[in-house]
A = this chain, B = another copy of it.
Amino acid sequence: MYKDLDPLLHSQLRLAIVSLLMVHEEVDFNQIKETTKATSGNISVQIKKLQDAGYIDVIKSFKNNYQNTSLKMTNKGIKAFEDYVQNLKQYIRTDK
């Protein structure tokens, strides 16, 4: 019991980003900023970590003349999130 929790997901901000992506398919930088209230720098760093791990795809484009950074879960990321949630549930079960 108490399986290890993927440290890449067991971080408040990265978990919030992934959580958003699990329910919204595609989300851009500003939506994350608005939803999480985190700073750009913090978000930028955490996005890179998730990307390096292969958990998300980062799509850079232009929208209304401005650069736009948009994110999507990869299959690997979805699997990792599901495993994380599965493992986490052992820690927060309240039944004896």
Q: State the A residues within 8 Å of B (CB).
A: 1-2, 4-5, 7, 10, 12, 15-16, 19, 22-23, 35-36, 84-85, 88, 90-96
Contact A19 B2 (CB under 8 A): yes
Query: Interface SS of chain A: helix, strand, loop or mixed?
Result: helix
Contact B92 A88 (CB under 8 A): yes
Instruction: Report the minimal beta-carbon distance from A14 to chain B, rounded to whole angstroms.
Output: 10
Chain B residues closer than 8 Å to A88, beta-carbon distance: 88, 92
**When chains A and B are docked, how far (Å) is the Cα of A91 from the Cα of B85?**
9
Nearest B residue to A7, CB-CB: B12
Q: What are 23 A-B residue pairs whose CB atoms fall within 8 Å in the complex? A: A1-B35, A2-B16, A2-B19, A2-B36, A4-B12, A5-B12, A7-B12, A10-B10, A10-B12, A15-B92, A16-B91, A19-B90, A19-B91, A19-B92, A19-B93, A22-B94, A23-B94, A23-B96, A84-B92, A85-B92, A85-B94, A88-B88, A88-B92
